[in-house]
Amino acid sequence: MKTKALCIALSLLVVPAVSFAQSPFDQLKKTAGDAGKGALEKRVNSKLTDEARKNQCSFKSGTDTLEPGCDKKLKNLAKALIEAKKQLDSGGVKSYKFEVSGHTDSSGDAAKNKALSAKRAEVIVKELSSRGVPRAEIISVGRGSEQMLVKPDDTAAKKAKNRRYELQVRL
């Protein structure tokens, strides 16, 4: 009787463990899928970085007001995001957000620069949304002067390079 009870108890412990085990092929498929998504993310981000650099809009100094003449640039950015969305969707990526990050030069108060960069990023998000990019798929982030492209930014030209926005996809 004790032997039979012991066998039943052991079988109750072993059966669930076997049902949870993944085949090596399941793990291989997941790894290949993750690698494919990583490569797709890298490709999309490279394209978005290029488009953002080519299509920078200027803001009036110290404000989140766009300078005139940005319409074509914003249309190009929206087209780039819509194309990226198609690539991600066709690649089977279900959960992602586009991130618009605003950046400033190092002049002035760091806290004010961070707030200004967040406002500028949000302006770009609103513009992209008005041009067909779903608002729910875009987030805005203010980075201030945390991630400068040019250090030190001690000339007008270097400061201008640091005042920018960037586009990325986040999986």
Domain contains 14? no
If one counts the domains in the chain, the total is 1
Phi first, then psi, for residue 113 (nearest 5°) are -65, -40
Q: pLDDT tens-digit profile of 149-167?
A: 999 999 999 998 899 999 9
Residue 141 has pLDDT above 80, yes or no: yes
Q: pLDDT tens-digit profile of 28-69?
A: 445 556 667 889 999 999 999 999 999 999 988 889 999 999
Q: How far apart are CA 113 and CA 107, in angstroms?
A: 8
- CATH, residue 100: 3.30.1330.60
Query: Residue 94: what pLDDT?
Result: 87
Domain contains 1? no
Domain contains 9? no
Domain contains 27? no
155 burial class (0-12, 13-18, 19+ CB within 10 angstroms)? exposed
Q: Which domain holds residue 149?
A: 35-170
Q: Give helix then strand counts, H and E, for the chain.
A: 5, 3
Domain contains 12? no
The mean per-residue pLDDT over the stretch 18-26 comes to 49
Query: Residue 36: what pLDDT?
Result: 77
Q: How far apart are CA 86 and CA 96, in angstroms?
A: 12
